[in-house]
Amino acid sequence: MKQTNTTIISNIPLCPDWFELTFTWDILSGIPMPGQFLTIRIVNQTSPLLRRPFAFSWFDRASSQASIIYQRRGPATALLAGLRTGDTLDCIGPLGNGFEPFISQKSIIAVAGGIGIGPMAFFARTENNNARPIQFVYGCRTASMIPATSWFDDLKTIVCTDDGSVGFKGTTGDYLRSLPANRYSLYDLFCCGPTPMLASCARFAQENNVTCIVSVEQVMACGVGACMGCVVKTIDGFVRSCKDGPVFNAQKLMWES
Amino acid sequence: MKQTNTTIISNIPLCPDWFELTFTWDILSGIPMPGQFLTIRIVNQTSPLLRRPFAFSWFDRASSQASIIYQRRGPATALLAGLRTGDTLDCIGPLGNGFEPFISQKSIIAVAGGIGIGPMAFFARTENNNARPIQFVYGCRTASMIPATSWFDDLKTIVCTDDGSVGFKGTTGDYLRSLPANRYSLYDLFCCGPTPMLASCARFAQENNVTCIVSVEQVMACGVGACMGCVVKTIDGFVRSCKDGPVFNAQKLMWES
Amino acid sequence: MNTPDLGVTIGIKKLPNPVGVASGTFGYGSEYESLMDLSILGALYTKAITLLPRGGNEIPRIIETPSGILNAIGLANVGVDVFVRDKLPFLRTLSSPIIANVAGSIEEEYIAVVEKLESFSGISGYEINISCPNVKHGGLSFGTDPAMVESLTGKLRAKTKLPLIIKLTPNVTDIAVIAKAAEAGGADAVSCINTLIGMVIDTKQKKIVLANKTGGLSGPAIRPIAVAMTYKVARSIQIPVIGIGGIMTADDALQFLLAGASAIQVGTGTFVDPSIPKQVHDGIMAYALCNKLTCIEDFHEFLP
Amino acid sequence: MNTPDLGVTIGIKKLPNPVGVASGTFGYGSEYESLMDLSILGALYTKAITLLPRGGNEIPRIIETPSGILNAIGLANVGVDVFVRDKLPFLRTLSSPIIANVAGSIEEEYIAVVEKLESFSGISGYEINISCPNVKHGGLSFGTDPAMVESLTGKLRAKTKLPLIIKLTPNVTDIAVIAKAAEAGGADAVSCINTLIGMVIDTKQKKIVLANKTGGLSGPAIRPIAVAMTYKVARSIQIPVIGIGGIMTADDALQFLLAGASAIQVGTGTFVDPSIPKQVHDGIMAYALCNKLTCIEDFHEFLP
Ligand SMILES: Cc1cc2nc3c(=O)[nH]c(=O)nc-3n(C[C@H](O)[C@H](O)[C@H](O)COP(=O)(O)OP(=O)(O)OC[C@H]3O[C@@H](n4cnc5c(N)ncnc54)[C@H](O)[C@@H]3O)c2cc1C
Ligand SMILES: Cc1cc2nc3c(=O)[nH]c(=O)nc-3n(C[C@H](O)[C@H](O)[C@H](O)COP(=O)(O)OP(=O)(O)OC[C@H]3O[C@@H](n4cnc5c(N)ncnc54)[C@H](O)[C@@H]3O)c2cc1C
Ligand SMILES: Cc1cc2nc3c(=O)[nH]c(=O)nc-3n(C[C@H](O)[C@H](O)[C@H](O)COP(=O)(O)O)c2cc1C
Ligand SMILES: Cc1cc2nc3c(=O)[nH]c(=O)nc-3n(C[C@H](O)[C@H](O)[C@H](O)COP(=O)(O)O)c2cc1C
Ligand code: FES
Ligand code: FES
């Protein structure tokens, strides 16, 4: 993990308000793993102030290029969307613990909700080359929120839309529950997305005794484990999502009721 | 005077860190006069916060386009320098009192120091078409600070450089003092530039009984006369430079010793 | 659904809506006339009015800070007599309530200003700026001492039936104590907050930027402080609270209203964009409609 | 010209340079090891240490504000015993002085923590966080009452010869009064300032963002307030002042030094860019060289 100025290779819109940012990544800073993130200081000003965390959505070792997929939400991401090829980016990373595909014979279901697609696609595309079968489940509100990328070509993908405009109609949680119950024991779940989605997957997993690994999102101040600002409640008390996470076994987390 | 969103026509570098910004100007907001200014809100963020004042450097009635010449100094002007053709600009203006060429038989010497060139060139180029003979005196540190424009072609111009790299070697005040003393009574002075330059011109004018009109610069909060933040000390007490100025008769001002 | 009535009752008067413009940031109204529709204002708070004209502090008086500004205008104003003669006639032509912001160096000065203004029509109430130093008490700011606040409020109360609003200074250990003193003295409302004391130093020139050395910090930088104080004060007294500090958007204003304020003032925000008071006004109305809030009290139901 | 010696004497110790990292923003040092050269630090102030481990406040704990952040971490820390066992060994390996930031709910807790730490090597001094509520005095913050501050300082003074630094809270009417109480109690220095109380409300969800309701405001937004307080405190006491609040650049730090601080701390700035402490350090050195300042006292000669 290092602080470095990287150079933007491209900053491409994927669907309304979503962008894929690709930049140089020096492997001396460490090799980004799926589920790990970096923090970016977007402007040399006092507002927006804090660095912003984004999960890696890809790392290409050959070209030494890394990517994130981000959504324009507020001041920092609006500024990010204005950056162009050749601009520099103050980055710290790779940070946190990624999705470690623990030893298991089971197939993987990788569930991504909304902008959680970045780290999950990174994970799925990486695992896709390995022995364990993997199924990618992507949930979003409607068809227009499916990013224009080619990854889906390589992945066994189920798209779930809230409005049924394409694929399975319902949430990713609904989709999981729609699978034959006698097959639940064949899967390990990996999830990244909005908290209600994670909670739903975690509930599903607990009820059906399925291993469920989730990546959580908390507001971060330091991003490196120094401030205790980003903690989540676990059965062992508060732990830092930036340093001890953001990937946790869902069983360890205390889900709000 | 109105608040309007104008559209940038061009934003062109003139010399290192100096730019000429041209934008649409609706004459329903008022017709900008030399010496008047506008205030610009450069970003929809909280830092930099205040609108920034800039003097008009030109207004072209035919095309309904106005210009300013600005120097990149801090956060707001750095952001301004990043704007491009087609971007919109939140402007309030025209504000303040311009250089009113009061009735007089004398010739005009228009003295500009540094970035004071914008309003002074606007004044000189406007007066150039009128009956009174006008001489433009531009002072700067060195030859590279002479903006790449064509105005000088039309104006009778003396350039003064501190280092003598071009034109008269010395300040504009030195230049004025180098004129034959018996001709002082033939001139009216109009000045815009850094405070030490204005003070030097005012001293010259007072010592030699020459009328001297100056445009002053104070940090402004409201820019419209409401806050009393931008006052200057005059023989009548504090007056607002944004509303009662920025153009004053040098005689009225209390110059720091 | 009908337009909600977001009028705010303060003492014997009702402000037509909760959005005012803060003292010292709006002159005497005329400066912003060509930039905005003054009739949308729920209240216009004048620049401080003192007994005699005051020139204010030396210059420089203004410096920008991160997300804020520091000002040391001082009590630069024309004095009550010229105010009545030159400024009040224009203010009378406006449909919005005019609240006179009153300042002084001793109790008697505040009282004299209010007494003078009482004999003229066109003023809907008084906002008492107690951030001023009390020269009879070693320059200690009136607003930092509950006894001084209660005494001053009581004496002014005796002079007027119009809304009497005490404007609290945030530069105190416990603002609720001061708010209670104002309530005990008979105030109809409190304004919360005035500026925080700050300083900026020019390290190149090695001197303090403002001629007055310290200035008052305003703008978005102080908003979280102002919201916290509004929340606390609203839970300490029964009279209405007017929230002030760094309001730039309707969302900012709504924070104050949810925190317990019955009205708000836009100050520095007007400098940055004169359309902010109207944007805030419209945004509050839209929020009320969308959340089916029919009066200002409804905004206070959500937070503990 | 020789490199100026900008060491800072505090009680019986000398900090090698004026640039420290603030309590609560630097963990126990190890987190920033791979991001910066820890040896350039003039001091490393630990996260608050209490007698027993504390989990800290519920979440959310952090929200960004205009040019600042609001935090309600609480006194989340491992407790003095685990600190000594797990954290101190790493801190001992650093060349920079380690200042233990000590917190408690009653006087006895502060005393117990200092007593425990006294028996271990590796601590160069104590910074006493008096912003904590005194549960024996109805939760009133220790730091708002001069009598409590003088009493606490005196009792801690009796326990240690090491530098004793009282960290002042800005949420008071007159910070100089509190600084004088710390001096009277025997403090070797004061830190100025801790965070200001603030609140942010989520108007969409209609609830207070931080679980703790209020949080502490830090970052550039508060810098003008911190500089003004540093200026005032430095003119009220004889012991050194350590300036803190919104330092992002060497220029910011220099404002504090010119105002009368003998050292500074970078807090929120380190979150934003971990290279800031070094940039500040190098910038102060360059300024000293360029202005021919040979010691910290030379910085104090310029302002009245
Ligand atoms: C580990 C982690 C990985 C993330 N990965 C991605 C990603 O791959 N793609 C993506 O689009 N977004 C990702 N995010 C969220 C991203 O950080 C926020 O969208 C971004 O910070 C918004 O900043 P803003 O100024 O645009 O919006 P703001 O208006 O400031 O905030 C919008 C929302 O973003 C979140 N946010 C704001 N500040 C922070 C902060 N300092 N730390 C964390 N969250 C914050 C809050 O939920 C807030 O409500 C991730 C967050 C975390 C914690
Ligand atoms: C009436 C008037 C006319 C002006 N005309 C021009 C012009 O034609 N061309 C030009 O380049 N500049 C002009 N200026 C100066 C211009 O406003 C500043 O350069 C600009 O505000 C700098 O902003 P910044 O954020 O880039 O720099 P900052 O780092 O914020 O400030 C740099 C310097 O700019 C000045 N300044 C900063 N804020 C303000 C403010 N709110 N009001 C006034 N001055 C401020 C101060 O002197 C400050 O030291 C004029 C100023 C005034 C008052
Ligand atoms: C330039 C300026 C002048 C001010 N003058 C006064 C004044 O005369 N009387 C007063 O009570 N408050 C005065 N204030 C304080 C404001 O009314 C308001 O309380 C403060 O600025 C906080 O609000 P804001 O952050 O929206 O500006 C002044 C503020 C500014 C910025
Ligand atoms: C996340 C966070 C945690 C903090 N924890 C402590 C603490 O435990 N003890 C303490 O005395 N100050 C604590 N502080 C206050 C800082 O040490 C510092 O006084 C304050 O943040 C102002 O400085 P800054 O603006 O540079 O951050 C904390 C500040 C932050 C932002
Ligand atoms: S963000 Fe600071 S500990 Fe995680
Ligand atoms: S800037 Fe407000 S009166 Fe001139």
CA of C66, closest CA in chain D: separation in Å? 5
C3 C-alpha to ligand 6 centroid (Å): 37
Atom from ligand 3 closest to the CA of residue C194: 19
Q: pLDDT band at residue A257, thresholds of 50, 70 and 90?
A: low
Whole-angstrom Cα distance, residue B162 to residue C168?
Answer: 53
Average the pLDDT over each of A205-214, C146-155, D19-28 and give the range with the smallest value. A205-214
Question: Using one digit for the tens of pLDDT, what is the confidence trace for A78-110?
Answer: 999 999 999 999 999 999 999 986 778 888 999
Determine contact, residues C287/C50, Cβ cutoff 8 Å. Answer: no
> B192 - beta bridge partners?
B112, B215
- Our mutation pick for probing the ligand 2 site, out of B21, B33, B217, counting the most ligand atoms within 8 A of Cβ, is B217
Residue with tokens 């060289």: D289
Query: According to the model, what pLDDT value does residue B98 have?
Result: 94
pLDDT of residue A58: 95
Instruction: Find out whether A230 and A219 touch, Cβ atoms under 8 Å.
Output: yes
Q: What is the pLDDT of residues A51-86, one digit of tens each?
A: 999 999 999 999 999 999 999 999 999 999 999 999
Residues of C in contact with D210 (CB under 8 A): none
Distance CA B234, CA B250 (A): 9
DSSP B48: S
Tell me the Cα Rg of chain D: 18
By C-alpha distance, the chain A residue nearest D77 is: A228
Asked if omega into D170 is within 30° of 0 (cis), the reply is no
Main-chain dihedrals φ then ψ at residue C100, nearest 5 degrees: -85, 125
Q: Find all residues with CB under 8 Å of C297, minimum gap 6, and list them.
A: C262
Closest CA to ligand 3's atom 4 = C24
CB atoms within 10 A of CB B194: 14
List the subunits that have 3+ CB pairs under 8 angstroms with D.
Answer: A, B, C
Beta strands in chain A (DSSP E): 2-15, 18-24, 37-41, 52-60, 65-71, 88-95, 107-113, 134-140, 157-161, 168-169, 187-192, 211-215, 231-234, 237-240, 247-249
CA-based nearest residue in chain A for residue C65? A46
Atom index in ligand 3 nearest the CA of residue C131 equals 11
Interface test with C, best of A43, A44, A47 (most C CBs within 10 A): A47
The token pair that represents D56 in the structure block: 């800290």
Among chain A residues, the shortest Cα distance to D61 is held by A229
Q: Is the CB of A125 under 6 A from ligand 1?
A: no
Tokens representing A159 are 């798209």
Residues of A in contact with B47 (CB under 8 A): 45-47
pLDDT in the model for residue B257: 58
With a 6 A CB cut-off, is D198 part of the ligand 4 pocket?
no
Residue A227 Cβ < 6 Å to ligand 5: yes
Element (H, E) at B22: strand B18-24
Instruction: Report the C-alpha gap between D20 and D45 in whole angstroms.
Output: 7
The set of residues, in sequence order, having a beta carbon less than 8 Å from that of C121 and lying 6+ positions away, is: C92
**Annotated active-site residue in D132, D192, D290, D295:** D132
Please report, for residues A119, B48, B230, D66, the alpha-carbon distance to residue A41 in angstroms, rounded to integers and kept in the order given: 20, 17, 35, 16
Closest C-alpha to D68, from C214, B46, C256, A217: B46
Chain C residues within 8 Å of chain D (Cβ atoms)? 65-68, 70, 144, 171-174, 196-201, 203, 206-208, 213-215, 217, 219-225, 227-228, 231, 246, 251, 254-255, 258-259, 287, 302-303
Chain B / chain D CB contacts < 8 angstroms: 5
CB contact under 8 A, D66 and C67: yes
Taking the centre of ligand 1 as the mean of its atom positions, its distance from the CA of residue A242, in whole angstroms, is 13
| Those residues with Cβ within 8 angstroms of residue B183's Cβ, 6 or more apart along the chain or in another chain | none
State the smallest CA–CA distance between residue A49 and chain D in angstroms.
6
Q: Which atom of ligand 3 is nearest to C47's Cα?
A: 8
CA distance C181 to chain B (A): 30
What number is the average pLDDT over the span C129-155? 90
Q: Would the CB atoms of C198 and D228 count as touching at under 8 Å?
A: yes
Distance CA B55, CA B60 (A): 15
**Residue B98 Cβ contacting ligand 6 at under 6 Å:** no
Q: Which stretch of DSSP H or E encloses residue B212?
A: strand B211-215
Task: Provide the β-strand partners of residue A160.
Answer: A139, A168
Collapsing DSSP to helix, strand or coil, A3 comes out as strand
Residues of C carrying an active site annotation: 132
Q: Report the 3 state secondary structure along A194-239.
A: CHHHHHHHHHHHHHCCCEEEEECCCCCCCCCCCCCCCEEEECCEEE
Alpha-carbon gap, residue A35 to A101, rounded angstroms:
11
At B103 the pLDDT is 76
Of residues B123, B137, B121, B131, the one with CA closest to residue B20: B121
Q: Do B223 and C272 touch (CB under 8 A)?
A: no
Asked if the C-beta of D303 comes within 8 angstroms of chain A's C-beta atoms, the answer is no
Q: How far apart are CA B221 and CA B49, in angstroms?
A: 10
| Interface mutation target, options D62, D70, D209, D222, chain C, most CBs of C under 10 Å | D222
Measured CA to CA, the distance from residue D114 to residue C186 in angstroms comes to 49
Chain D nearest CA to C182, separation (Å):
17
DSSP-assigned letters across all residues of chain D? -PPP---EEETTEEESSSEEE-TTSSTTSGGGTTTS-GGG-SEEEPSPB-SS-B----S--EEEETTEEEE---S-B-HHHHIIIIIHHHHHTSSSPEEEEE--SSHHHHHHHHHHHHTSSS--EEEEETTSEEGGGTTEEGGG-HHHHHHHHHHHHTT-SS-EEEE--S-SS-HHHHHHHHHHTT-SEEEE--PEEE--EETTTTEESSTTS-EEEESGGGHHHHHHHHHHHHTT-SS-EEEES---SHHHHHHHHHHT-SEEEE-HHHHH-TTHHHHHHHHHHHHHHHTT--SGGGGGGS--
What would the two tokens of residue C77 be?
A: 């104003």
pLDDT at B218: 95
Q: Whose CA is nearest to atom 1 of ligand 3?
A: B227
Q: Does C67 touch chain A (CB under 8 A)?
A: yes
In angstroms, rounded to a whole number, what is the distance separating the alpha carbons of residues A223 and A226? 8
Q: Is A226 in the pocket of ligand 5 (CB under 6 A)?
A: yes
| Cα–Cα distance, B41 to A50 (Å, whole number) | 24
At what angle are helices D146-157 and D107-118 packed, to 10 degrees? 20
What's the rounded Cα separation, in Å, for the pair C229 and C207? 33
Give me the residues of A, 159-218, that contact C with CB < 8 A. Answer: none
Interchain CB distance below 8 Å, C59 and B220: no
Q: What is the pLDDT of residue D219?
A: 98
Mean pLDDT of C64-69: 98
Alpha carbons within 13 angstroms on the beta-carbon side of residue C48 total: 26
Q: Give residue C182's pLDDT.
A: 98
Of the candidates D227, B174, D70, which has an alpha carbon nearest to the alpha carbon of residue C210? D227
Mean pLDDT of C179-188: 98
pLDDT recorded at residue C2: 66
Contact A90/D271, CB-based, under 8 Å?
no
Average pLDDT per run of 10 along chain B, which is 257 residues long?
A: 96 93 96 97 93 97 96 95 94 94 83 93 86 89 84 83 90 90 89 93 91 95 96 95 95 85
Decide if D163 contacts D189 (C-beta within 8 A): yes
Residue (of D132, D137, D197) closest to C233 by Cα position:
D197
**Probe ligand 4: pick from D46, D62, D195, max atoms within 8 Å of CB?**
D195
Query: Which ligand 4 atom sits nearest the alpha carbon of residue D244?
Result: 23
Q: Which amino acid is at C142?
A: F
Please name which ligand lies nearest the alpha carbon of D220: 4
Q: Quick one: pLDDT at residue A102?
A: 73
Q: Residues of chain D whose pLDDT is less than 50?
A: none
Residues in chain D with CB shorter than 8 Å from the CB of A50 are: 64, 69, 271-272
Picking from D276, D285, D218, D265, the residue whose alpha carbon sits closest to that of residue D44 is: D265
pLDDT at D2: 67
Three-class SS of residue A40? strand
pLDDT of residue B113: 93
In chain C, the residue whose alpha carbon lies closest to the alpha carbon of B226 is C27
CA of D61 to the centre of ligand 5 (A): 10
Exposure string for B62-92, b = 16+ CB within 10 A, e = fewer: eeebbbbbbbbeebbbebbbebeeeeebbbb
Two structure tokens written together for B59? 């207004």
Which atom of ligand 2 lies closest to the CA of B18? 11
**Chain D residues within an 8 Å CB radius of B47:** 66-67, 220
Report whether residue A81 contacts ligand 1, using a CB cutoff of 6 Å: no
DSSP string, B55-71: EEEEEETTTTEEEEEEE
Q: Using the predicted structure, report yes or no on whether residue A150 has a pLDDT greater than 80.
A: no
If you ran DSSP here, which 8-state letter would residue C161 be given?
A: S
Q: Cα dist. D204→A122, C255, C260, D183 in Å?
A: 33, 10, 16, 47
How far is the C-alpha of C43 from the C-alpha of C123, rounded, in Å?
11
Interface test with C, best of B45, B222, B233, B234 (most C CBs within 10 A): B222
The pLDDT tens digits for C206-257 are 999 999 999 999 999 999 999 999 999 999 999 999 999 999 999 999 999 9
C-alpha to C-alpha distance for D206 and C304, rounded to whole angstroms: 11
* Cβ neighbour number for residue B40 with a 10 Å cutoff: 25
A213 lines ligand 1 (CB under 6 A): no
| ipTM for the predicted complex | 0.96
